[in-house]
Amino acid sequence: MSEELTGNILVAQSGGPTAVINSSLAGVITEALNHECIEEIYGGLNGIQGILSEDLIDLAAESQQNIRGLRTTPACALGSCRYQLKSAEDFDRLFQVFETHNIRFFFYIGDNDAMGVAQKVNAQAQQRGYALRVIGIPKSIDNDLAMTDHCPGYGSTVKYLAATIREMALDHEGMGQHDFVSIVEVMGRNAGWISAGGTLARRRNAPEDPPHIVLMPEAPLQPEKFLESVRNVLKKNRHCMVVAAEGLTDINGNYLGANTQVKDGFGHAALGGVADYLRTLVEENLGVKVRSAKFGVAQRTAAHCASLTDADEAYACGQAAVRHAVEGATGKMVALVRGEGEHYSSETTIVELSEVAEAVKTLPAAWISEDGMNVNYQFNKYAMPLIQGEVQVPYELGVPKYVVLECHFIQKQLEAYQTEKQ
């Protein structure tokens, strides 16, 4: 047990939104109220970038309804960023903000990039002798963070996609007498967890159910084999349903749908053209009609079809972060550990930020079928528990009612600061 530390919390969100990232935020806020060593609960707007601008709000001033509502509200209630801390000026400024507002507990909810930021902040704090506890809280619909059984956000994304794919499959089964191919393009830049999740749409004991083909970054596309596989499916069915990850590559590692002119704040290529690539490939070679769908950001924010297991685990991760920080941990990320029993259970633990930052966990090769275009029962056993249970969102006037924070701003005490354009 380390020495007692007293002061304020700062929590912020980074990277792409999820259906349950706000549930983690609610977990942090709720747990913080249990600890006397925590004085104020501040939220940083727009991630580390907003913190540099001293854009802080008083989360303890939000209504109880708002905090409860966060548990079912998708996207980033605090706003997000993809900003990376690089320059010495940025770090000086950050610790100026921390010191001015007596920030002693810093929680960063995000993916592996965010864990890299958190790790740097922790290292700097130690270097500067500034008493600070830094804990990362995982979120990733991509499910590609190392050292955790799975990532909050993933279960909800694949539940929504699996439900939608089952509905689309019914549509396809009902339609027409002609062969056609249906392509669903899903997120997943470096790993095929989301594509593979599409297979959860299959009914119990119905391995022949759509989707028939699953394309993942772990198995680069071999066009001839793919077309052969489509042909085989069409021999048996009127339609062939394909789920393809946006990050699918050719055998040389080139993104098949890359729009190389656009890069995000972390320098990653903007993706999004795999469905178009595959459509052309199929139409030109097989001469059958192709339908495509691309859910864009809807797949990461579909709280109306979120997994209760996922939302509850996200909340638990937020709570655990606070408990561990109060107990003295720093430079760690909360991780989920799966129970050994026959029935699914999970608990939280902490792992080193350094082992998570910038690492990417891909699908185990043994879970991917030999032809690289499907996953086996091991994936099903892993993923099925993560989509169980339905979050009940409140509705108002026919559409989900989500929380918007009141945002009680904390008085700025520092001069304005210009973050760099990244």
Q: With 0-12 CB in 10 A as exposed, 13-18 as middle and 19+ as buried, what is 153?
A: buried
Q: Which is nearer to its own copies, 3 or 396 (CB)?
A: 396
Q: How far is the CB of 362 from its own copies (least distance, A)?
A: 23
The binder of its own copies chosen from 32, 135, 162, 248 (CB under 8 A): 162
- Residue 142 annotated as catalytic: yes
Per CB under 8 A, 257 contacts its own copies: no
- Which of 388, 392, 336 has the alpha carbon at shortest distance from 200? 388
Q: Which is nearer to its own copies, 275 or 326 (CB)?
A: 275
The binder of its own copies chosen from 176, 207, 339, 364 (CB under 8 A): 176
Q: Edge-to-edge strand order for the sheet containing 7-13?
A: 56-58, 38-44, 7-13, 103-110, 133-138, 332-338, 346-352
Q: Contact letters (x/-) for its own copies, 297-316, by CB under 8 A?
A: xx-xxxxxx-x---------
Q: Which is nearer to its own copies, 174 or 253 (CB)?
A: 174
CB 154 within 8 A of CB 143: yes
Q: How far is the CB of 412 from its own copies (least distance, A)?
A: 18
DSSP H helical ranges for 53-180? 64-70, 88-100, 112-128, 154-174
Per CB under 8 A, 418 contacts its own copies: no
Q: How far is the CB of 357 from its own copies (least distance, A)?
A: 21
The binder of its own copies chosen from 89, 92, 171, 327 (CB under 8 A): 171
Q: Which is nearer to its own copies, 227 or 270 (CB)?
A: 270
Q: How far is the CB of 367 from its own copies (least distance, A)?
A: 19
- Which of 291, 261, 258 has the alpha carbon at shortest distance from 272? 258
- Which of 12, 33, 136, 154 has the alpha carbon at shortest distance from 83? 12
| Residue numbers 60-89 binding its own copies by CB under 8 A | 73-82
Q: Which is nearer to its own copies, 93 or 172 (CB)?
A: 172
CB 333 within 8 A of CB 122: no
Task: Give the separation between CA 178 and CA 255, rounded to whole angstroms.
Answer: 31
| Residue numbers 188-217 binding its own copies by CB under 8 A | 200-201, 204
**Lookup: tokens for 295:** 């859910």
CB 345 within 8 A of CB 338: yes
Q: Which residues contact 356 (CB under 8 A, 6 or more apart)?
A: 112, 115, 136, 138, 145, 146, 147, 148, 333
Q: Per CB under 8 A, which region of 116-124, 188-196, 285-293, 349-357 contacts its own copies?
A: 285-293
| Residue numbers 396-415 binding its own copies by CB under 8 A | 396-400, 402
| Residue numbers 7-36 binding its own copies by CB under 8 A | 13, 16-17
| Residue numbers 110-139 binding its own copies by CB under 8 A | none
The binder of its own copies chosen from 286, 390, 412, 414 (CB under 8 A): 390
Q: Which is nearer to its own copies, 163 or 359 (CB)?
A: 163
Angle, CA 369 vertex, CA 254 and CA 171 arms, to 5°: 85
Q: Catalytic: which of 55, 90, 111, 142?
A: 142
Q: How far is the CB of 350 from its own copies (least distance, A)?
A: 27
CB crowding 312-343: b at 16 or more within 10 Å, else e: bbbbbbbbbbbbbbbeebbbbbbbbeeeeeee
Per CB under 8 A, 395 contacts its own copies: yes
Task: Give the separation between CA 185 and CA 228, rounded to whole angstroms.
Answer: 20
Total residues in contact with its own copies, by rule CB under 8 A? 67
Find how far residue 261's CA is from the centre of its chain.
24
Q: How far is the CB of 40 from its own copies (least distance, A)?
A: 23
The helix or strand, by DSSP H or E, that contains position 193, with its residue range, turns out to be: helix 193-197
Q: How far is the CB of 183 from its own copies (least distance, A)?
A: 9
Q: Which is nearer to its own copies, 184 or 320 (CB)?
A: 184
Q: Which is nearer to its own copies, 242 or 353 (CB)?
A: 242
Catalytic site positions: 142
List residues binding its own copies (CB under 8 A).
13, 16-17, 46, 49, 73-82, 159, 162-164, 166-168, 170-177, 182, 184, 200-201, 204, 262, 265, 270, 272, 289, 291-298, 300-305, 307, 384, 387-390, 395-400, 402
